[in-house]
Amino acid sequence: FHFIMMKPEILKITQISPDQSVVCIIGKAEIPEMLKLTKTEKEYALGQLKADEEYVFINSYFKCTYIVKVKDEKSHFRTREELRKTASGLKKLIKSNNHSELVITSYKAYKEAVEDFTEGLILGMYVFDKYKTKTDKADEKKSYPSKLLLLDGITKAEVKWLTDLTDAVYFTRDLINEPVNVLNAGALASEVEKIGRKGGFKVDVLRKGKIEALKMGGLLAVNKGSVDPPVFCILEWNPANKLNKKPIVLVGKGIVYDTGGLNIKTDNYMALMKGDMAGAAAVTGVFYTAAKNKIPLHIMGFLPVTDNRPGGNAYTQGDILTMHNGMTVEIGNTDAEGRLILADAISYASRYKPELIINIATLTGSAASTFSNQAIAMMTNADRKYISLLEECGHNVHERVAELPFWDDYAEMIKSEFADVRNIGGREAGAITAGKFLEKFTAFPLIHLDIAGTGLLKKDDHYRLKDGPASGLRLLAAFLKKYAENYNKLN
């Protein structure tokens, strides 16, 4: 796995030596004795802090000290996010000092400060450079620390969670960044199988013959313009100590490249489309994190995977498809392909009688236009206990969800003259009508997450890098962890 070679090891330590370079996160403008600064260095640091500097850097020649003051925001959620952003902003300075290892500790700061800083730093450090044959010689001599040593009240379980979660984000970003000439549908399935073996969860891959036998008309139609066959990945984490009797299902959109099909994308709308499988990648990362941390929940994942091209016998506007559950769909636009493959996956998942289905996809320009990169668009008919927990976790990891109405009136907009339903409505309420389309393919509670705005970025958003931010992974991993911890109370 490419990411493990470049990502620093996270270790818990119990003491610091005088010659170690340290990041100290402070809650008050005081300099702790453990930093072993000289009187002059202390006076300088206090002066900078009183001048409201975000951080103070002191080079003592034999060690470096970074003093980071916590920003006291109106909400604790915001305070945590600002620290992650500060950490990401410090990555260039940290790299320039070429530490082999770096201690991260805190003094009179909030409980999760060391975790948050470490997470922001690691996620900000990610690069996808495997295809670069030439590098900047000056930059080549500098590197990020190979070890981050956490000195605080952090537990071994918290260190493990942080390690596995950031591993999962790196893996997911690598998938999103791979071009389709390397990562076609079959190659993506192969990577999911590999990470399943590494993480300890089960992966079954259904090939084209089985997909045809299952009559997945949506997945097969979208694939008709491609020379590469589709795949359908089934993921399962089913521990012996599971709390739930019915599985929680995650469904991720796996369009490895989206040209729009015969309704071909214009201008630069195709530029980011190697990342149109970000939902499938995120689901895979969530399974890795859940399995590695042995979350006591039965979880199943379904990833329909293909590219969407205008070649061969590509499906057309006006085609009528018969889906896996027997419903018929009139095609109003071949660029509304994601919902077709997801509908087959959702109806297939329904055979397992799930407690809840959570679908995640880079689905509509409408969601991106509505919320930009600030929120994941959410539509749901599920019990509010799930939504409240998802919203709380969204604030905690700053992958916030914003709910759109899911009224039945919107279903009127995708009625078809010729079939049971049409795959697109008008220009208005595009994100909602896409959600209403998916809702038709299951009788079980559904949460639909549209990450079109947050999952494909045109520029870096602090530690959420344009090179595949892995949107939704941290949110869903936190949700499952929190749901397991509160299972008896919530049920």
Distance CA 96, CA 362 (A): 36
**Residue 187 CB contacts under 8 Å (≥ 6 apart), including other chains:** 178
CA 377 to chain CA centroid, Å, is 14
Chain centroid to Cα 8, Å, comes to: 20
d(CA 66, CA 48): 12
Q: Is 7 a catalytic residue?
A: no
Q: Which of 142, 160, 202, 265 is catalytic?
A: 265
Cβ neighbours of 229 (radius 10 Å): 16
Q: How far is CA 315 from the centre of its chain?
A: 31
Q: How many CB atoms lie under 10 A from the CB of residue 63?
A: 18
Identified catalytic residue from 173, 339, 440, 464 = 339
In b/e form, how buried is each residue of 16-27, taking b as 16+ CB within 10 angstroms?
beeebbbbbbbe
> Is 265 in the active site?
yes
Six token digits for residue 460? 């870096």
User: How many residues are present in the chain?
Assistant: 491
Read out DSSP for 121-166? Answer: HHHHH----TT-----HHHHT----SEEEEESS--HHHHHHHHHHH
Cite the active site residues. 265, 339
